Structure 1
Amino acid sequence: MTDPYARYTRLRFDRPHPKVLRITMDNGRMNAADDAMHAELAEIWRDVDRDGSVNAAIITGAGNVFSAGGDFKMIQSNIDDFHARTRQWREARDIVYNIINCSKPVVSAMRGVAVGAGLVCGMLADVSIATKDCRIIDGHTRLGVAAGDHAAIIWPLLCGMAKAKYYLLLCEQLLGEEAERIGLVSLAVEDADLDPKAVEVATKLAEGAQGAIRFTKYALNNWLRQAGPIFDTSLGLEFLGFSGPEVKEGLASHLEKRKPSFPPGV
Protein backbone atom coordinates (compact mmCIF):
# COMPACT_ATOMS: atom_id res chain seq x y z
CA MET A 1 0.00 0.00 0.00
CA THR A 2 1.33 3.45 -0.94
CA ASP A 3 2.54 5.62 1.95
CA PRO A 4 0.52 8.88 1.71
CA TYR A 5 3.29 10.75 3.56
CA ALA A 6 6.27 9.61 1.49
CA ARG A 7 6.12 12.64 -0.82
CA TYR A 8 6.66 15.17 1.97
CA THR A 9 10.13 16.73 2.19
CA ARG A 10 9.78 19.36 4.93
CA LEU A 11 7.57 17.36 7.28
CA ARG A 12 8.60 14.12 8.95
CA PHE A 13 6.37 11.65 10.68
CA ASP A 14 6.34 9.15 13.51
CA ARG A 15 3.79 7.30 15.63
CA PRO A 16 4.07 7.83 19.40
CA HIS A 17 0.85 5.79 19.57
CA PRO A 18 -0.57 3.47 16.86
CA LYS A 19 -3.43 5.87 16.20
CA VAL A 20 -1.49 9.15 16.65
CA LEU A 21 0.48 10.71 13.80
CA ARG A 22 3.14 13.16 14.96
CA ILE A 23 4.04 15.72 12.26
CA THR A 24 7.37 17.47 12.75
CA MET A 25 8.31 20.55 10.74
CA ASP A 26 11.98 20.03 9.91
CA ASN A 27 14.03 21.93 7.35
CA GLY A 28 17.22 22.76 9.25
CA ARG A 29 16.62 26.53 9.20
CA MET A 30 14.69 27.04 12.43
CA ASN A 31 11.85 25.32 10.60
CA ALA A 32 11.07 28.49 8.65
CA ALA A 33 8.34 27.99 6.06
CA ASP A 34 9.88 28.00 2.60
CA ASP A 35 7.89 27.35 -0.58
CA ALA A 36 7.96 23.59 -0.05
CA MET A 37 6.93 23.65 3.61
CA HIS A 38 4.19 26.19 2.97
CA ALA A 39 2.67 23.92 0.32
CA GLU A 40 3.01 20.85 2.54
CA LEU A 41 1.28 22.54 5.49
CA ALA A 42 -1.66 23.18 3.20
CA GLU A 43 -1.84 19.55 2.05
CA ILE A 44 -1.09 17.53 5.17
CA TRP A 45 -4.48 18.03 6.81
CA ARG A 46 -6.28 16.48 3.83
CA ASP A 47 -4.08 13.40 4.13
CA VAL A 48 -4.66 13.17 7.88
CA ASP A 49 -8.41 13.47 7.33
CA ARG A 50 -8.39 10.63 4.78
CA ASP A 51 -6.09 8.30 6.75
CA GLY A 52 -8.18 5.70 8.53
CA SER A 53 -5.21 4.67 10.67
CA VAL A 54 -5.03 8.12 12.31
CA ASN A 55 -7.38 9.23 15.08
CA ALA A 56 -5.38 12.25 16.25
CA ALA A 57 -2.38 14.28 15.08
CA ILE A 58 0.37 16.27 16.77
CA ILE A 59 2.11 19.19 15.02
CA THR A 60 5.51 20.23 16.38
CA GLY A 61 8.92 21.49 15.26
CA ALA A 62 12.30 19.80 15.10
CA GLY A 63 14.94 20.74 17.65
CA ASN A 64 14.37 23.68 19.96
CA VAL A 65 12.13 25.73 17.64
CA PHE A 66 8.53 25.31 16.54
CA SER A 67 8.80 27.54 13.45
CA ALA A 68 10.59 30.82 12.77
CA GLY A 69 8.04 32.12 10.26
CA GLY A 70 8.16 32.71 6.54
CA ASP A 71 11.42 32.17 4.68
CA PHE A 72 12.77 35.50 3.38
CA LYS A 73 13.16 34.11 -0.16
CA MET A 74 9.49 33.18 -0.18
CA ILE A 75 8.57 36.67 1.01
CA GLN A 76 10.71 38.21 -1.72
CA SER A 77 9.01 36.07 -4.36
CA ASN A 78 5.62 37.28 -3.10
CA ILE A 79 6.81 40.85 -3.60
CA ASP A 80 8.30 40.27 -7.05
CA ASP A 81 6.03 37.74 -8.73
CA PHE A 82 2.24 37.98 -9.08
CA HIS A 83 1.92 34.25 -9.82
CA ALA A 84 3.97 33.32 -6.73
CA ARG A 85 1.82 35.70 -4.69
CA THR A 86 -1.45 34.14 -5.83
CA ARG A 87 -0.09 30.63 -5.24
CA GLN A 88 0.96 31.55 -1.71
CA TRP A 89 -2.45 33.17 -1.13
CA ARG A 90 -4.22 29.93 -2.09
CA GLU A 91 -1.92 27.86 0.12
CA ALA A 92 -2.33 30.25 3.06
CA ARG A 93 -6.10 29.96 2.69
CA ASP A 94 -5.90 26.17 2.50
CA ILE A 95 -3.69 25.85 5.60
CA VAL A 96 -6.40 27.54 7.64
CA TYR A 97 -9.49 25.93 6.16
CA ASN A 98 -7.97 22.45 5.87
CA ILE A 99 -7.00 22.29 9.53
CA ILE A 100 -10.44 23.63 10.50
CA ASN A 101 -12.16 21.05 8.31
CA CYS A 102 -9.91 18.11 9.21
CA SER A 103 -12.20 15.74 11.11
CA LYS A 104 -9.38 14.41 13.32
CA PRO A 105 -8.39 16.41 16.42
CA VAL A 106 -5.01 18.15 16.24
CA VAL A 107 -2.68 18.90 19.16
CA SER A 108 0.16 21.44 18.79
CA ALA A 109 3.38 21.31 20.79
CA MET A 110 5.23 24.63 20.55
CA ARG A 111 8.63 25.58 21.94
CA GLY A 112 11.37 28.10 21.18
CA VAL A 113 9.71 30.51 18.78
CA ALA A 114 6.36 30.19 17.01
CA VAL A 115 5.78 32.57 14.09
CA GLY A 116 4.20 32.60 10.63
CA ALA A 117 2.73 29.59 8.84
CA GLY A 118 3.79 27.27 11.64
CA LEU A 119 1.99 29.46 14.15
CA VAL A 120 -1.17 29.12 12.04
CA CYS A 121 -1.20 25.40 12.76
CA GLY A 122 -0.18 25.95 16.37
CA MET A 123 -3.04 28.34 17.10
CA LEU A 124 -5.69 26.52 15.08
CA ALA A 125 -4.91 23.17 16.69
CA ASP A 126 -7.82 21.86 18.73
CA VAL A 127 -5.56 21.65 21.79
CA SER A 128 -2.59 24.03 21.75
CA ILE A 129 0.30 23.41 24.14
CA ALA A 130 3.32 25.71 24.49
CA THR A 131 6.31 25.83 26.75
CA LYS A 132 6.11 28.61 29.30
CA ASP A 133 8.98 30.44 27.60
CA CYS A 134 7.85 29.84 24.01
CA ARG A 135 7.94 33.15 22.12
CA ILE A 136 4.71 33.59 20.16
CA ILE A 137 4.85 36.43 17.65
CA ASP A 138 2.52 37.43 14.83
CA GLY A 139 5.06 39.45 12.87
CA HIS A 140 2.91 40.68 10.01
CA THR A 141 2.66 44.41 10.68
CA ARG A 142 6.40 44.53 11.53
CA LEU A 143 6.98 43.08 8.05
CA GLY A 144 4.62 45.62 6.51
CA VAL A 145 1.56 43.52 5.65
CA ALA A 146 -1.79 42.95 7.35
CA ALA A 147 -2.10 40.18 9.93
CA GLY A 148 -3.82 37.79 7.56
CA ASP A 149 -2.48 34.26 8.01
CA HIS A 150 -4.93 33.18 10.69
CA ALA A 151 -5.05 35.77 13.45
CA ALA A 152 -8.30 37.54 12.55
CA ILE A 153 -10.27 34.29 12.51
CA ILE A 154 -9.12 32.95 15.88
CA TRP A 155 -7.27 35.41 18.18
CA PRO A 156 -10.29 37.58 19.15
CA LEU A 157 -12.28 34.42 19.89
CA LEU A 158 -9.51 33.00 22.09
CA CYS A 159 -8.24 36.03 24.01
CA GLY A 160 -10.72 38.84 23.27
CA MET A 161 -10.57 41.79 20.92
CA ALA A 162 -8.57 44.10 23.19
CA LYS A 163 -5.69 41.66 23.64
CA ALA A 164 -5.85 40.55 20.01
CA LYS A 165 -5.51 44.14 18.79
CA TYR A 166 -2.66 44.84 21.18
CA TYR A 167 -0.54 41.90 20.08
CA LEU A 168 -1.46 41.97 16.38
CA LEU A 169 -1.17 45.71 15.76
CA LEU A 170 2.07 46.09 17.74
CA CYS A 171 3.66 42.70 16.95
CA GLU A 172 4.48 42.35 20.62
CA GLN A 173 6.09 39.10 21.72
CA LEU A 174 3.90 36.88 23.87
CA LEU A 175 5.38 34.15 26.07
CA GLY A 176 3.60 30.82 26.41
CA GLU A 177 2.85 31.34 30.10
CA GLU A 178 1.08 34.63 29.36
CA ALA A 179 -0.62 33.10 26.32
CA GLU A 180 -2.17 30.48 28.59
CA ARG A 181 -3.22 33.13 31.11
CA ILE A 182 -5.16 35.13 28.52
CA GLY A 183 -6.64 32.04 26.87
CA LEU A 184 -4.65 32.13 23.61
CA VAL A 185 -3.31 28.59 24.14
CA SER A 186 -4.82 25.63 25.97
CA LEU A 187 -1.84 24.78 28.19
CA ALA A 188 1.62 26.09 29.07
CA VAL A 189 4.13 23.61 30.47
CA GLU A 190 7.82 23.27 31.23
CA ASP A 191 9.99 22.34 28.26
CA ALA A 192 10.70 18.84 29.55
CA ASP A 193 6.95 18.20 29.82
CA LEU A 194 5.94 19.47 26.37
CA ASP A 195 6.32 16.34 24.26
CA PRO A 196 4.98 13.91 26.89
CA LYS A 197 1.96 16.14 27.50
CA ALA A 198 1.21 16.42 23.77
CA VAL A 199 1.39 12.64 23.43
CA GLU A 200 -0.78 12.18 26.53
CA VAL A 201 -3.48 14.50 25.20
CA ALA A 202 -3.35 13.06 21.67
CA THR A 203 -3.52 9.51 23.04
CA LYS A 204 -6.63 10.34 25.08
CA LEU A 205 -8.21 11.79 21.95
CA ALA A 206 -7.15 8.81 19.83
CA GLU A 207 -8.59 6.30 22.32
CA GLY A 208 -11.82 8.20 22.92
CA ALA A 209 -15.21 7.97 21.21
CA GLN A 210 -14.24 8.98 17.70
CA GLY A 211 -17.65 9.95 16.42
CA ALA A 212 -18.40 12.07 19.48
CA ILE A 213 -15.01 13.80 19.39
CA ARG A 214 -15.13 14.52 15.65
CA PHE A 215 -18.71 15.76 15.75
CA THR A 216 -17.85 18.03 18.68
CA LYS A 217 -14.88 19.47 16.78
CA TYR A 218 -17.08 20.02 13.72
CA ALA A 219 -19.74 21.85 15.73
CA LEU A 220 -17.26 24.03 17.64
CA ASN A 221 -15.44 24.97 14.45
CA ASN A 222 -18.63 26.49 13.10
CA TRP A 223 -17.55 29.50 15.20
CA LEU A 224 -14.55 29.72 12.87
CA ARG A 225 -16.54 29.01 9.72
CA GLN A 226 -18.83 31.92 10.63
CA ALA A 227 -15.71 34.09 10.77
CA GLY A 228 -14.65 32.94 7.29
CA PRO A 229 -15.42 36.32 5.66
CA ILE A 230 -13.30 38.06 8.31
CA PHE A 231 -10.38 35.72 7.58
CA ASP A 232 -10.81 36.03 3.81
CA THR A 233 -10.67 39.83 4.09
CA SER A 234 -7.57 39.78 6.29
CA LEU A 235 -5.79 37.33 3.98
CA GLY A 236 -6.71 39.34 0.87
CA LEU A 237 -5.43 42.54 2.47
CA GLU A 238 -2.22 40.80 3.55
CA PHE A 239 -1.49 39.72 0.00
CA LEU A 240 -2.49 43.12 -1.38
CA GLY A 241 0.24 44.47 0.90
CA PHE A 242 2.87 42.34 -0.83
CA SER A 243 2.44 44.60 -3.88
CA GLY A 244 3.04 47.79 -1.88
CA PRO A 245 6.02 49.74 -0.53
CA GLU A 246 5.75 48.90 3.17
CA VAL A 247 6.68 45.25 2.84
CA LYS A 248 9.79 46.13 0.83
CA GLU A 249 11.04 48.29 3.69
CA GLY A 250 9.93 45.72 6.26
CA LEU A 251 11.86 42.91 4.54
CA ALA A 252 14.92 45.10 4.01
CA SER A 253 14.96 46.05 7.70
CA HIS A 254 14.82 42.38 8.69
CA LEU A 255 17.67 41.49 6.34
CA GLU A 256 19.74 44.47 7.49
CA LYS A 257 18.83 43.91 11.17
CA ARG A 258 17.65 47.47 11.76
CA LYS A 259 14.51 49.32 12.75
CA PRO A 260 12.20 49.87 9.75
CA SER A 261 11.39 53.31 8.41
CA PHE A 262 8.03 52.84 6.75
CA PRO A 263 6.73 55.28 4.12
CA PRO A 264 3.60 57.41 4.80
CA GLY A 265 0.46 55.34 5.18
CA VAL A 266 -2.29 54.67 2.65
Structure 2
Amino acid sequence: MTQACEHLSQELSDGILTLTFNRPEKKNALTQAMYGAAADAINAAQDDKNVRVILLTGAGDAFTAGNDIADFAGAGSAPRDGEPPVARYLKAILYCEKPLIAAVNGLAIGVGVTMLLHCDLVYAGEAATFQTPFVNLGLVPEAASSLLLPRAIGTQKANEMFLLGRKVGAEEAERIGLVAATVPDAELMKTARAAASALAAKAPGAVKATKKLARGELAEIAARMDGESKIFGAQLQTAEFAEAALAFAEKRAPDFTKVA
Protein backbone atom coordinates (compact mmCIF):
# COMPACT_ATOMS: atom_id res chain seq x y z
CA MET A 1 0.00 0.00 0.00
CA THR A 2 1.14 3.54 -0.56
CA GLN A 3 1.90 5.78 2.36
CA ALA A 4 -0.95 8.07 3.35
CA CYS A 5 -0.46 11.80 3.16
CA GLU A 6 -1.08 13.94 6.22
CA HIS A 7 -4.73 14.48 5.39
CA LEU A 8 -5.69 11.04 4.08
CA SER A 9 -5.83 8.19 6.58
CA GLN A 10 -5.65 4.57 5.42
CA GLU A 11 -6.65 1.48 7.36
CA LEU A 12 -6.81 -2.11 6.09
CA SER A 13 -8.80 -4.56 8.19
CA ASP A 14 -10.62 -7.78 7.28
CA GLY A 15 -10.33 -7.07 3.57
CA ILE A 16 -11.71 -3.54 3.86
CA LEU A 17 -9.48 -0.61 2.94
CA THR A 18 -10.90 2.48 4.64
CA LEU A 19 -9.78 5.80 3.18
CA THR A 20 -10.67 8.76 5.38
CA PHE A 21 -10.43 12.36 4.23
CA ASN A 22 -8.79 13.70 7.37
CA ARG A 23 -8.77 17.47 7.34
CA PRO A 24 -11.69 18.17 9.67
CA GLU A 25 -10.62 21.73 10.48
CA LYS A 26 -11.27 22.54 6.78
CA LYS A 27 -14.34 20.29 6.47
CA ASN A 28 -12.07 17.85 4.61
CA ALA A 29 -11.68 20.17 1.63
CA LEU A 30 -9.55 18.28 -0.87
CA THR A 31 -6.06 19.39 -1.83
CA GLN A 32 -3.96 18.11 -4.70
CA ALA A 33 -1.90 16.10 -2.21
CA MET A 34 -5.05 14.41 -0.90
CA TYR A 35 -6.23 13.60 -4.41
CA GLY A 36 -2.84 12.14 -5.27
CA ALA A 37 -2.67 9.97 -2.17
CA ALA A 38 -6.23 8.71 -2.67
CA ALA A 39 -5.52 7.88 -6.32
CA ASP A 40 -2.36 5.99 -5.36
CA ALA A 41 -4.20 4.04 -2.66
CA ILE A 42 -7.08 3.03 -4.92
CA ASN A 43 -4.80 2.07 -7.79
CA ALA A 44 -2.54 0.02 -5.49
CA ALA A 45 -5.58 -1.76 -4.08
CA GLN A 46 -6.45 -3.17 -7.50
CA ASP A 47 -3.47 -5.55 -7.34
CA ASP A 48 -3.62 -6.21 -3.59
CA LYS A 49 -5.40 -9.51 -2.88
CA ASN A 50 -5.79 -8.45 0.74
CA VAL A 51 -8.15 -5.64 -0.33
CA ARG A 52 -11.64 -6.81 -1.22
CA VAL A 53 -13.60 -3.57 -0.69
CA ILE A 54 -12.73 0.14 -0.51
CA LEU A 55 -14.66 2.36 1.91
CA LEU A 56 -14.56 6.15 1.63
CA THR A 57 -15.54 8.47 4.47
CA GLY A 58 -14.62 11.76 6.12
CA ALA A 59 -13.28 12.71 9.55
CA GLY A 60 -15.28 14.89 11.90
CA ASP A 61 -18.62 16.31 10.83
CA ALA A 62 -18.08 16.39 7.06
CA PHE A 63 -17.53 13.94 4.23
CA THR A 64 -15.80 16.60 2.15
CA ALA A 65 -16.54 20.23 1.36
CA GLY A 66 -15.15 19.63 -2.12
CA ASN A 67 -12.10 21.19 -3.72
CA ASP A 68 -9.93 23.50 -1.67
CA ILE A 69 -10.64 26.81 -3.42
CA ALA A 70 -7.19 28.29 -2.71
CA ASP A 71 -5.58 25.13 -4.06
CA PHE A 72 -7.51 25.37 -7.30
CA ALA A 73 -6.87 29.09 -7.54
CA GLY A 74 -3.20 28.31 -8.03
CA ALA A 75 -1.72 27.03 -4.77
CA GLY A 76 -1.75 23.33 -5.64
CA SER A 77 1.24 21.05 -6.04
CA ALA A 78 2.74 20.42 -9.45
CA PRO A 79 1.25 17.57 -11.49
CA ARG A 80 3.12 14.26 -11.54
CA ASP A 81 3.96 12.92 -15.00
CA GLY A 82 2.00 15.79 -16.51
CA GLU A 83 -1.35 14.65 -15.09
CA PRO A 84 -2.98 16.63 -12.27
CA PRO A 85 -3.69 14.62 -9.09
CA VAL A 86 -7.41 15.34 -9.36
CA ALA A 87 -7.48 13.73 -12.81
CA ARG A 88 -5.63 10.68 -11.50
CA TYR A 89 -8.15 10.36 -8.67
CA LEU A 90 -11.17 10.62 -10.96
CA LYS A 91 -9.70 7.98 -13.26
CA ALA A 92 -8.93 5.78 -10.26
CA ILE A 93 -12.56 5.74 -9.12
CA LEU A 94 -13.81 5.42 -12.70
CA TYR A 95 -11.74 2.33 -13.44
CA CYS A 96 -11.75 0.82 -9.94
CA GLU A 97 -12.70 -2.85 -10.31
CA LYS A 98 -13.23 -3.52 -6.62
CA PRO A 99 -16.39 -2.42 -4.80
CA LEU A 100 -16.43 1.19 -3.68
CA ILE A 101 -18.62 2.10 -0.71
CA ALA A 102 -19.11 5.61 0.67
CA ALA A 103 -20.23 6.57 4.17
CA VAL A 104 -21.34 10.20 3.89
CA ASN A 105 -21.24 12.09 7.16
CA GLY A 106 -22.28 15.74 7.15
CA LEU A 107 -21.36 17.97 4.23
CA ALA A 108 -20.85 16.55 0.74
CA ILE A 109 -20.16 19.42 -1.64
CA GLY A 110 -19.00 19.48 -5.25
CA VAL A 111 -16.73 16.51 -5.89
CA GLY A 112 -17.97 15.23 -2.53
CA VAL A 113 -21.19 14.49 -4.42
CA THR A 114 -19.88 13.66 -7.88
CA MET A 115 -17.46 11.00 -6.64
CA LEU A 116 -20.46 9.19 -5.11
CA LEU A 117 -21.78 8.53 -8.61
CA HIS A 118 -18.83 6.15 -9.07
CA CYS A 119 -19.47 4.29 -5.82
CA ASP A 120 -21.36 1.01 -5.82
CA LEU A 121 -23.10 1.65 -2.50
CA VAL A 122 -23.59 4.97 -0.73
CA TYR A 123 -24.90 5.33 2.83
CA ALA A 124 -25.70 8.68 4.40
CA GLY A 125 -25.99 9.78 7.99
CA GLU A 126 -29.20 11.65 8.73
CA ALA A 127 -27.28 14.94 9.04
CA ALA A 128 -25.70 14.57 5.59
CA THR A 129 -26.35 17.22 2.94
CA PHE A 130 -25.48 17.17 -0.75
CA GLN A 131 -24.73 20.20 -2.92
CA THR A 132 -23.12 20.77 -6.34
CA PRO A 133 -22.59 24.55 -6.50
CA PHE A 134 -20.35 24.55 -9.59
CA VAL A 135 -22.21 27.32 -11.40
CA ASN A 136 -22.16 29.37 -8.18
CA LEU A 137 -18.37 29.24 -8.43
CA GLY A 138 -18.21 30.04 -12.14
CA LEU A 139 -17.41 26.40 -12.90
CA VAL A 140 -19.07 23.36 -14.49
CA PRO A 141 -19.83 19.82 -13.31
CA GLU A 142 -16.99 17.27 -13.30
CA ALA A 143 -16.32 13.55 -12.77
CA ALA A 144 -18.80 12.78 -15.58
CA SER A 145 -21.56 14.00 -13.27
CA SER A 146 -23.29 15.89 -16.10
CA LEU A 147 -23.98 12.42 -17.50
CA LEU A 148 -24.36 10.34 -14.35
CA LEU A 149 -26.39 12.59 -12.05
CA PRO A 150 -29.32 13.03 -14.48
CA ARG A 151 -29.28 9.26 -14.98
CA ALA A 152 -29.39 8.69 -11.24
CA ILE A 153 -31.99 11.24 -10.13
CA GLY A 154 -33.55 12.63 -13.32
CA THR A 155 -32.78 15.72 -15.36
CA GLN A 156 -35.00 18.15 -13.44
CA LYS A 157 -33.59 17.26 -10.02
CA ALA A 158 -30.07 17.26 -11.42
CA ASN A 159 -30.58 20.73 -12.91
CA GLU A 160 -31.82 22.04 -9.58
CA MET A 161 -28.59 20.84 -8.03
CA PHE A 162 -26.32 21.94 -10.89
CA LEU A 163 -27.87 25.22 -12.04
CA LEU A 164 -29.36 26.47 -8.79
CA GLY A 165 -26.88 24.85 -6.43
CA ARG A 166 -29.80 23.55 -4.37
CA LYS A 167 -28.86 21.63 -1.24
CA VAL A 168 -30.41 18.17 -0.81
CA GLY A 169 -30.89 16.58 2.59
CA ALA A 170 -30.25 12.95 3.44
CA GLU A 171 -33.86 11.80 3.37
CA GLU A 172 -34.47 13.38 -0.02
CA ALA A 173 -31.19 11.95 -1.30
CA GLU A 174 -32.47 8.48 -0.48
CA ARG A 175 -35.89 9.18 -1.96
CA ILE A 176 -34.51 10.34 -5.33
CA GLY A 177 -31.92 7.58 -5.54
CA LEU A 178 -28.72 9.46 -4.81
CA VAL A 179 -27.93 7.17 -1.86
CA ALA A 180 -28.86 3.59 -1.00
CA ALA A 181 -30.03 4.36 2.52
CA THR A 182 -30.10 7.02 5.22
CA VAL A 183 -29.35 5.92 8.77
CA PRO A 184 -28.88 7.64 12.14
CA ASP A 185 -25.49 9.34 12.28
CA ALA A 186 -24.34 7.10 15.12
CA GLU A 187 -25.01 4.01 12.99
CA LEU A 188 -23.45 5.25 9.74
CA MET A 189 -20.06 3.57 9.94
CA LYS A 190 -21.55 0.40 11.41
CA THR A 191 -23.96 0.20 8.47
CA ALA A 192 -21.30 0.92 5.85
CA ARG A 193 -18.85 -1.54 7.39
CA ALA A 194 -21.52 -4.23 7.56
CA ALA A 195 -22.13 -3.84 3.84
CA ALA A 196 -18.39 -3.83 3.19
CA SER A 197 -17.91 -6.98 5.28
CA ALA A 198 -20.72 -8.71 3.43
CA LEU A 199 -19.13 -7.85 0.08
CA ALA A 200 -15.67 -8.88 1.26
CA ALA A 201 -17.02 -12.35 2.03
CA LYS A 202 -18.55 -12.86 -1.42
CA ALA A 203 -16.94 -14.43 -4.49
CA PRO A 204 -14.59 -11.71 -5.76
CA GLY A 205 -14.86 -12.70 -9.42
CA ALA A 206 -18.65 -12.56 -9.34
CA VAL A 207 -18.59 -9.26 -7.48
CA LYS A 208 -16.19 -7.77 -10.03
CA ALA A 209 -18.23 -9.00 -12.99
CA THR A 210 -21.53 -7.81 -11.51
CA LYS A 211 -20.09 -4.37 -10.80
CA LYS A 212 -18.87 -4.16 -14.40
CA LEU A 213 -22.28 -5.17 -15.76
CA ALA A 214 -24.12 -2.69 -13.55
CA ARG A 215 -21.88 0.20 -14.54
CA GLY A 216 -22.17 -0.45 -18.24
CA GLU A 217 -19.82 0.85 -20.90
CA LEU A 218 -17.07 3.00 -19.38
CA ALA A 219 -15.96 4.61 -22.64
CA GLU A 220 -18.93 6.99 -22.69
CA ILE A 221 -18.36 7.94 -19.05
CA ALA A 222 -14.63 8.47 -19.62
CA ALA A 223 -15.32 10.63 -22.69
CA ARG A 224 -17.75 12.81 -20.74
CA MET A 225 -15.27 13.10 -17.87
CA ASP A 226 -12.53 14.25 -20.28
CA GLY A 227 -14.86 16.74 -21.95
CA GLU A 228 -15.94 18.20 -18.63
CA SER A 229 -12.33 18.42 -17.49
CA LYS A 230 -11.36 20.58 -20.45
CA ILE A 231 -14.23 23.00 -19.86
CA PHE A 232 -13.61 22.99 -16.10
CA GLY A 233 -9.93 23.83 -16.67
CA ALA A 234 -10.86 26.64 -19.05
CA GLN A 235 -13.33 28.07 -16.54
CA LEU A 236 -10.60 28.15 -13.88
CA GLN A 237 -8.88 30.76 -16.04
CA THR A 238 -11.92 33.01 -16.39
CA ALA A 239 -12.88 36.23 -14.66
CA GLU A 240 -15.99 34.41 -13.42
CA PHE A 241 -13.95 31.98 -11.34
CA ALA A 242 -11.58 34.74 -10.21
CA GLU A 243 -14.56 36.70 -8.85
CA ALA A 244 -16.01 33.58 -7.21
CA ALA A 245 -12.68 32.73 -5.56
CA LEU A 246 -12.23 36.30 -4.34
CA ALA A 247 -15.76 36.38 -2.99
CA PHE A 248 -15.17 33.10 -1.19
CA ALA A 249 -12.01 34.47 0.42
CA GLU A 250 -13.83 37.65 1.40
CA LYS A 251 -16.86 35.68 2.67
CA ARG A 252 -19.36 37.47 0.46
CA ALA A 253 -21.63 36.60 -2.44
CA PRO A 254 -19.94 36.84 -5.85
CA ASP A 255 -21.01 39.68 -8.14
CA PHE A 256 -20.99 38.26 -11.64
CA THR A 257 -22.36 41.50 -13.11
CA LYS A 258 -18.76 42.70 -13.01
CA VAL A 259 -17.71 40.04 -15.49
CA ALA A 260 -20.86 39.76 -17.64
What whole-Å deviation, never above 9, does each CA across 1:154-197 have from its counterpart, x for those lacking one?
Answer: 21121112211121111111112111111111211110111000
Give the corresponding residue for 1:30: 27
The aligned amino acid for 1:148 is: E
Q: Which moved more, 1:245-254 or 1:31-40?
A: 31-40
Give the corresponding residue for 2:140: 146
Aligned match for 2:14, one of 3, 15, 18: 18
Q: CA offset at residue 254 of structure 1?
A: 1.3
The aligned amino acid for 2:51 is: V
Q: Is the 8 A contact 2:114 2:142 kept in 1?
A: no
The aligned amino acid for 2:36 is: A
Number of corresponding residues: 259
Please say if 1:72 is aligned against 2:69: yes
Please say if 1:241 is aligned against 2:238: no
Change (3 A) 1:150 1:132: farther
Q: Is the 8 A contact 2:174 2:181 kept in 1?
A: yes
Alignment of 1:1-266 (within 5 A): 4-15=1-12, 17-28=13-24, 29-77=26-74, 90-263=84-257
What whole-Å deviation, never above 9, does each CA across 1:172-231 have from its counterpart, x for those lacking one?
Answer: 111121111111112111101110000010011100111101011122223443232222
Report the 3-state secondary structure (helix = DSSP H, G, I; strand = E; otherwise coil) of the residue aligned with 2:189: helix
RMSD across aligned positions (CA): 2.4
Q: Which moved more, 1:192-201 or 1:91-100?
A: 91-100
2: distance between equivalents of 1:169 and 1:183? 19
Q: CA offset at residue 265 of structure 1?
A: 7.2
The aligned amino acid for 1:104 is: K
Q: Which moved more, 1:124-133 or 1:84-93?
A: 84-93
Q: Is the 8 A contact 1:95 1:121 kept in 2?
A: no
1: distance between equivalents of 2:91 and 2:103? 20
Q: Which moved more, 1:183-192 or 1:238-247?
A: 183-192
Change (3 A) 1:166 1:217: same
Report the 3-state secondary structure (helix = DSSP H, G, I; strand = E; otherwise coil) of the residue aligned with 1:50: coil
1: distance between equivalents of 2:229 and 2:16? 31
Q: Which moved more, 1:85-94 or 1:57-66?
A: 85-94
Report the 3-state secondary structure (helix = DSSP H, G, I; strand = E; otherwise coil) of the residue aligned with 1:6: coil
2: distance between equivalents of 1:26 and 1:40? 12
Q: Is the 8 A contact 2:111 2:142 kept in 1?
A: no
Report the 3-state secondary structure (helix = DSSP H, G, I; strand = E; otherwise coil) of the residue aligned with 2:182: strand
- Alignment gaps of 5+ in structure 1: none
The aligned amino acid for 1:62 is: A
The aligned amino acid for 2:32 is: D
Normalising to structure 1: TM-score of the pair?
A: 0.88
Q: Is the 8 A contact 1:158 1:184 kept in 2?
A: yes
Normalising to structure 2: TM-score of the pair?
A: 0.90
1: distance between equivalents of 2:65 and 2:81? 21
Q: CA offset at residue 88 of structure 1?
A: 9.6
Report the 3-state secondary structure (helix = DSSP H, G, I; strand = E; otherwise coil) of the residue aligned with 1:60: strand
1: distance between equivalents of 2:229 and 2:250? 27
